[in-house]
């Protein structure tokens, strides 16, 4: 538990930045699901971009938390 707390204390600026991107990706996915019946093209683009951003943000969060950077 001490490792997790120390890791968050040291890396919080980059983790915050990555969490903001994760939330943005999830919002794009939710928006794509809502507008699916109105405009299929916009929904497809929103879902695609949202999924890509979410996967990249999760990957970056994983590596930042485990490997991180030395401060």
Distance separating alpha carbons of residues 64 and 52, to the nearest angstrom: 18
pLDDT of residue 70: 54
61 contact partners, CB below 8 Å, separation of at least 6: 15, 18, 19, 22
pLDDT of residue 13: 85
Domain positions in the chain: 11-66
Q: What is the pLDDT of residues 53-66, one digit of tens each?
A: 999 999 998 888 77
pLDDT of residue 71: 47
Structural tokens at position 1: 């538990």
């Amino acid at each position: 538990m001490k490792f997790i707390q120390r890791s968050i204390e040291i890396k919080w600026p980059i983790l915050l930045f990555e969490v903001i991107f994760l939330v943005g990706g999830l919002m794009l996915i939710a928006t794509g699901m809502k507008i699916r019946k109105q405009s299929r093209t916009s929904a497809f683009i929103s879902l695609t971009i949202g999924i890509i951003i979410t996967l990249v943000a999760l990957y970056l969060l994983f590596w930042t938390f485990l490997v991180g950077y030395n401060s």
